Structure formats: structure tokens, C-alpha cells
Structure 1
């Protein structure tokens, strides 16, 4: 009996070690692949759109520190003529919480014309944001903007989905201790999205009618997902 228990424990230990190795290998692969397409703002090619991935907005309608930096970086790329359209993508699955209209208002306040800002109201995750950018907004060539810890995964997903994607990091400030939590969560997210983007390829929560990013961004105003 003791020998049987010992064998079971050895097998479980081997399986746990193998799973840990796979976890770390996938994490490294996603980071290495995505990082090869991360560039400085001045090197960014002309693209169909600049994709800004959402983050927390406060109840009073102001953007969080990290989201503010993403929007500021996208604004600079827009001013440089890297893309004529900005696609803001985030959570607007309920009326009481709205990332995308807050993001659009922020950009309009900086002087961007409303027709150049598209809103993806159903960007509930990085994977869904990129899937909908491709299938709903017909984006083929994209500059993704978010903080560096998140950017390698986003670019990896986009390249796996067939987009000609590059990334520009928006680490414009020191975000303090929150980054420790973000980086730990990101390790698990890179593993999840590796299998989602490469093998499982599930459809997002919502799809809907096509709204080409080459058109007028006002077509997405108050367009809650259905």
C-alpha cells in the first residue's frame, strides 16, 4: 500500500512539474513572439487604425491613470498620421459602466473629430477586442496601444488572427505597486490566450453587423452590444 501511494505521488509530482514547465514555456513564447513586433512610435507604419485597449474608468466619467496614457499615446500616433482612425475597445455591456464612450469623449476633448473615433462596445477581453476589430470593423493593418506588460499578448493574438499588427507601448508613467498584480495576472492570461488564439478560436460574446473602420465612427455612437 505504501509503495502504491509513493508511486502515485511520484507520478503526480512529475505531472505537476511538466505542467509548470509548459506554463512557463508558453508564457515565454507569447512574450518573445509579441515583443518582436513592438516598436517605437516614430517607427510605426501607416495603418488602418490605432486600437486602444480599454481599462478602468471611474464612476464620475474620468479615465484611470493607465487608460489616460493609452489614449495620450494613441492621440500622438494619430497626430503623426500613422492612422486616420482610432478604435477604442472596452466594456460597455451594461448602461451603468461605459469604458468606450468615456474614451471617445477624452479623445474628442483633445481635438480629434468624432468621425475618426470608432467604439467597440463589446471589447470584454483582449481576445474579443481583436476578434471584433478584424471581423466587425474590418481592420487588416493595426497599431495596438496599451502598456508593455499587456502589449506582447495583444500583438501575439492579433498576429495569430492574421492581422498585420504592431504594438506601441504606453508606459508614460510609473504605475506603482499595481503593476506587480498586473504582471502576475498577465502570465496566466498569456497562457489562456495562446490556446484561445491558436487552437480554440471561439467567437466573441457578440458579433453583429459590419461597421468598416474606413467609414464614419459616429456609426458606433451608443451602439450597445446585442
Structure 2
């Protein structure tokens, strides 16, 4: 019976130490995630345009794909990217577009959906190039260089996405800038931002630890204007 208080003391000490270790690990984990988020922002802000009027001319604009509709509602992440691409072309800022996105199945084809909308806006088919294997941002950025031989291009997406895309591009020695287009003006902004913080940590892990490569590479399909310029 006399050992029971001693046992309880030992258990309490063990629990206290365990909780302390868990708390320290949590603080380190949270601090690391926040630090990665801030590093990616700090290192890419100077390469982001927020006004089409300030964008110089580019041979290639890389439009990062997303779904056109969420349920039966138009996805404004999509519409802002496409509208910006159309305006860039109309103003003579971007001549050719590389549309990169997921092609999961016949009824879900991000590159083709974007192409259809650009064609409706009067952009010629010869100025539109499709990357059906842009399953994620890393795939889209690396494939733009390795498959389509684009080493200097303008990325078109939302501000938070610009930073992660540019960070990946810099790591792979790709000369890219980004036009940040608006996102939806609703309550989803906070949840998207939180998800982006973890996406940046995953990108950091992909680049420096896992050395991840695109799911598919395949044959080279150069955009002819780039070859001509070289």
C-alpha cells in the first residue's frame, strides 16, 4: 500500500514530462510552418505584379488550372485567371499561353476548359498550348521548363498562389514572374490561407527533402516561339 503514492508520483512526473515534450514539439512545428510561410513570401514578393498595366511583354503566360465551377457556381478563382489572361493578350502583353491543369477524366479537363474560354475570347488556337499533366503546382512549373522549354514566363494566378509557384520556379532556376489576380470576396479567404500555409510546408519538403519531380514528364513539346527566340 505504501508504494501506491510513490507510483502515482512517478506517473504524474512522467505525464508532466510527456506533456512538456509534446508542447515543445508543437511550438517547434508551428514555428517552422510559420517561418517557411514567411520565407516564401519574403523571397518572392518582388517578382509579383498586381496591376496588368505594370506587366511587361512576355512570349509565354502560364495559367495555373483550377475547376471552373464549384457545384453549380462559377469559381471566381478560375474566372479571374482567365479574364486576366484574355486582357493580357488583348493588350499585347502576352502572346502565347500554356494552360496547365488536371485532366482527371473525360468530364473534368482543366486545360481544355481554359482553352475553350480563350478561343471564345478570340485568341487563336496556335497561341494556346495545353499541359494535361499539371496535377499540382510543382508539376506545372517544372513541366513548363522541361517539356515546353519555357524558361522565362509570366504565371497567372492568385496572390498567395503566386508566391508558392515562384518559390518553386526559383529553386529550379526558372526565370518567372507572376501576375496576382483577385480571389473571391467571401468568407472562404481565411480557410484558403490556412490551407496555403500547409501547402507551402509541403512544397518546402518536396524541394529540399524529397526532391520531388512531376508525376509525368514525357516527350518534349517546345512552344515554337521560344525556340525561334533562342
Q: TM-score, normalised by structure 2?
A: 0.85
RMSD: 2.3
Counterpart contact for 1:63–1:103, Cα < 8 Å: no
Counterpart contact for 1:44–1:166, Cα < 8 Å: no
Instruction: Give the unaligned 5+ runs of structure 1.
Output: 217-226
Q: Aligned residue for 2:207? A: 197
Quick check: 1:26 aligned with 2:10? no
Instruction: Give the unaligned 5+ runs of structure 2.
Output: 1-9
1:202 deviation in Å? 1.4
SS state of the match for residue 129, structure 2? strand
1:73 deviation in Å? 0.6
Q: Aligned residue for 1:207? A: 217
Distance 1:104 1:35 in 2: 29
Q: Write out aligned runs for 1:86-101 (5 A).
A: 86-101=97-112
Q: Aligned residue for 1:72? A: 83
- Picking from 48, 63, 79, the partner of 1:38 is 48
Q: Aligned residue for 1:219? A: none
Q: Which has the higher helix share?
A: 2
1:175 deviation in Å? 3.0
1:8 deviation in Å? 2.4
Q: Aligned residue for 2:64? A: 53
Distance 2:179 2:127 in 1: 19
Deviations 1:4-59 (A, max 9, x none): 33222222211111111111100111122122211232332333410111111249
Distance 1:50 1:62 in 2: 26
Quick check: 1:160 aligned with 2:177? no
Q: TM-score, normalised by structure 1?
A: 0.87
Q: Aligned residue for 2:4? A: none
Counterpart contact for 2:76–2:184, Cα < 8 Å: no
Name the CA shift for 1:141/1:199 in 2 (closer, same or farther; >3 Å).
Answer: farther
Provide the aligned length of Structure 1 versus Structure 2: 215
Deviations 1:178-225 (A, max 9, x none): 222211211111111122234433121111111112269xxxxxxxxx
